[in-house]
Amino acid sequence: MRSPRSRRGLTLLEVMVSIGILLVMSAAVVESMRNAITFQNLLGERDELLRTARVALSTLGRDLQLAYITPNQQAVERYRTVFVGTDEEPSKIYFASLNHQRMILDSRECDQTEITVWAEDSPDRDAPGMVLYHREAPRIDEEPDEQGPIWPLAYNVRSFRTRFLDQATGEWRTEWDTREADTFYRLPRAVEIDLVLITPDPEDPTGERLVDVPFISRVVVEYAQPLPTGGLPFIPNQAGGYQNVQGLIPGGGLLGLPGAGVGSPFGGGSFNPMGGAPFNPMGAGRFGMPPGAVAPGVGGAALPGRAQ
């Protein structure tokens, strides 16, 4: 038979010490979990920020890389293409591009499209910054900055600015308009995109403080006239910016070929590699080839696809 002393329970002091130890351990576990969740949220927000900037810059970069203006200024029943970038905050840019992809079978569309990119205040009052919008019209018309579906390209935008490299001066311009005299009907050699996004400060545990994260990208416009080399002066080409460019123009036609004949919109004449159909540099007529293709009848050698 056990003595009463052997059946004695815990004292009040021992119970209080055990509860105190349990509380300390629980608090440490909760704090560790809270820090892990906060860090995971910060990593998610930073990853979303980088993904947003990457998608926005790559989308706009592809459109700008294939920007073009048609050399057929006097063609009948044809709209004139433009390239316009405004000097304002935020910037607005609209232009014709060859980056359109037909998504519906047998739809009356091609690779030509009108692109407009601009930023405006967010419709959500609680959201910081602006929204960067992207508009793409599947057809060229008389309204280059209207029509076509619109979708957001980036949220929480603090600033959106563009600059344009002028071949005539070798300097960056804050605006560009192919309808103005100083940049009449020619494309900039390159476009600089300055995008600033807003994100929570990772050093602020509360997540209430915001910081600006800048992103800068420069895109070479493939179908623009190259920069002059060897100390030669820049001579703008009024036929659409393709004269003396050793490369491919939209639709696959080859430029810079000798002996083109008489009456060519490029200063040489009527270049007809097919031996019959008239040459259409936009690839919309009877002679149209994909970019990078070699036209038959020119010796099988394609000129470099990218101007210097």
Residue 24 host element (H or E): helix 12-65
Q: What is the pLDDT of residues 123-169, one digit of tens each?
A: 888 788 899 999 998 888 778 878 888 999 999 999 999 999 998 88
Return the residue matching tokens 């004292």. Answer: 11
- What percentage of the chain reaches a pLDDT higher than 90? 31
The mean per-residue pLDDT over the stretch 284-291 comes to 34
What are 101's strand-pairing partners?
Answer: none
For residues 276 and 302, the answer to whether their CB atoms sit within 8 Å is: no
Q: What is the pLDDT of residue 181?
A: 87
**Which residues have CB under 8 Å from 118's CB, separation 6+?**
90, 91, 92, 93, 132, 133, 160
8-18 burial string, b = 16+ CB within 10 Å, else e?
A: eeeeeeeeeee
For residues 246 and 256, the answer to whether their CB atoms sit within 8 Å is: yes
Compute the distance between CA of residue 138 and CA of residue 55 in angstroms, rounded to an integer. 21
Q: How far apart are the first and last CA of the chain?
A: 104
Q: What is the pLDDT of residue 126?
A: 79
The mean per-residue pLDDT over the stretch 208-237 comes to 85
Q: What is the pLDDT of residues 20-70, one digit of tens each?
A: 999 999 888 888 887 777 777 777 778 888 899 999 999 999 999 999 988
Three-class DSSP category at 211: strand
For residues 93 and 132, the answer to whether their CB atoms sit within 8 Å is: no
Q: What are phi and psi of 199, to 5 degrees?
A: -145, 155
For residues 194 and 218, the answer to whether their CB atoms sit within 8 Å is: no
pTM summary value: 0.65
